[in-house]
Amino acid sequence: MGKLLVLMLVMMFLAFESLEALDYGDALNKSILFFEGQRSGKLPTNQRVKWRADSALSDGSLANVNLIGGYYDAGDNVKFVWPMSFTTTLLSWAAIEYQNEISSVNQLGYLRSTIKWGTDFILRAHASPTMLYTQVGDGNSDHSCWERPEDMDTPRTLYSISSSSPGSEAAGEAAAALAAASLVFKSVDSTYSSTLLSHAKSLFEFADKYRGSYQASCPFYCSYSSYQDELLWAAAWLYKATGEKSYINYVISNKDWSQAVNEFSWDNKFAGAQALLASEFYNGTNDLAKFKTDVESFVCALMPGSSSQQIKPTPGGLLFIRDSSNLQYVTTATTVLFHYSKTLTKARVGSIQCGSTQFTVSQIRNFAKSQVDYILGNNPMKMSYMVGFGTKYPTQPHHRGSSLPSIHSKPEKIDCNGGYSYYNSDTPNPNVHTGAIVGGPNSSDQYSDKKSDYSHAEPTTYINAAFIGPVAALISSSG
């Protein structure tokens, strides 16, 4: 009897401990803070990530334009506008969808600043109605050096698209980002919001009128899914932002572009567009039924036990799309799962049918929650994949600024090759890049925590951006 009581108490303590361990508010704080470590340009006085300093203050000078600011993409020092725009769209989506949850932990102001650091740059990059700068920095030279952004001396080559050399993926995603952000700023700064919206409309027109696939950032970011997904995604955001019928008519007349997919990523935005348009369908636009069918195919492809399941999770229960920065697909998929369960709840639809299997809304939501919990520590490695969250987390992210001593502690320049002694040292990074979510474990739920293992150890802006909505969705339910 006594033994049983002790056992029960121990179990209760463990259960309580694991609840305590997953503080979603703390995870949200940290996932937003991460973006300060990715900032390019002149840092503001309220910068909280202190190991960073000003960098790339001449970006754009090769063409006499101001392209200072924006975000470094991942562990490198290149600014890729196409994924940066996707990041900005995802951040804005989270701010719109989970405004109350985010504001309840006092993070809304920080999230808005994070979005604005992206949108200010995209506005600058949109130099004229049919001209968008799409990349700053030569990817090959940057990737062959291991340098702090503050020391960077590789060519800051400029890439752009125009009516004569179009790139509808990049222009379409930039339109989506600015349209989504216009909703975020609508009640806070209506002038800024209108500026965002007018650039969004102009970028969409550019993307649609001068159609062509964006391949200039390849091999780093190649478009595999072409641009129809970005055009639908941008039109869906513009409809949400303006309520103008022309955008919904565009989507309806091009609905055959929409495909059933099982990945949502910087390349392929169909699932995101389908999720947005499915909620418009439930709101009475019957012509959008195809998007409801397609988003349900996406959900059904992911749900364990679904008769139409396409994605096999790891033994530990993590969605596994591919062994290269896999967590990006987990966070984006989870974004859609939470969004669609919210849509179903609002529409008072209790379940969906996946072939011969039925899933209730709470089953979908619980599966989405299991992915967030896995990332934060409920996994076979018993570690968090977010730097600085919990007690055990990655110590060697593949990240230049984090792995080299801060410019404040070692002001002498560390050149292109000089950085490699740090890269090759099997020691924890000197700067803890708090909030950074790395590429994640392999298909056997294992993680080796080595800087050189970039497909698992590299953080990226879009992994974090897609995590913010899901972790915010759990804040109200965690009390």
Ligand X SMILES: *[C@@H]1O[C@H](CO)[C@@H](O)[C@H](O)[C@H]1NC(C)=O
Pairwise CA distance, residues 157 & 314, whole Å: 41
| Per-residue CA distances from 207 to 233, 235, 265, 374 (Å) | 12, 11, 19, 38
CA 468, 469, 471, 475 torsion-angle sign: positive
Which residue of 446, 452, 477, 478 would you call a contact of ligand X, by CB under 6 A? 446
Among 65, 105, 131, 432, binds ligand X (CB under 6 A): 105
**Catalytic residue list contains 398:** yes
Pick the closer one to ligand X by CB: 108 or 200: 108
Contacts of 372 (CB under 8 A, 6+ apart): 24, 334, 467, 470, 471, 474
Least separation in angstroms between residue 442's CB and ligand X is 4
* Pairwise CA distance, residues 293 & 163, whole Å: 35
Q: Which of 198, 444, 476, 477 binds ligand X (CB under 6 A)?
A: 444
The alpha carbon of 303 is separated from its chain's Cα centroid by a whole number of angstroms, namely 21
Peptide bond into 380 cis (omega under 30): no
Per CB under 6 A, 345 contacts ligand X: no
Torsion of CA 227, 228, 233, 234, to 10 degrees: 70
Minimum distance, C-beta of residue 456 to ligand X, in the bound complex (Å): 8
173 a catalytic residue? no
* Choice among 73, 101, 150, 458 that is catalytic: 458
Pair 317, 374: CB distance under 8 Å: yes
Of the pair 107, 460, the CB lying nearest ligand X is at 107
Residues 398, 399, 433, 456: which is the catalytic one?
A: 398
String marking each residue 376-405 x if it binds ligand X according to CB under 6 A: ------------------------------
* 458 among known catalytic residues: yes
Question: Between vectors from CA 369 to CA 363 and to CA 372, what angle results, nearest 5°?
Answer: 155
Determine the interface stretch with ligand X among 103-111, 169-177, 185-193, 230-238 (rule: CB under 6 A). Answer: 103-111
Residue 159 and residue 217 in contact, taking contact as beta carbons nearer than 8 Å: yes
Which residue in the set 89, 279, 371, 464 belongs to the binding site for ligand X (CB under 6 A)? 279
d(CA 243, CA 240): 6
Site string for ligand X, 319-338 (x = CB under 6 A): --------------------
Q: With CB under 6 A as the contact rule, which of the stretches 72-80, 223-231, 279-287, 409-417 interacts with ligand X?
A: 279-287
> What amino acid positions are annotated as catalytic residues?
398, 449, 458
Which spans of this chain sit near ligand X (rule: CB under 6 A)?
23, 25-26, 29, 105-107, 279-280, 283, 442-444, 446, 448
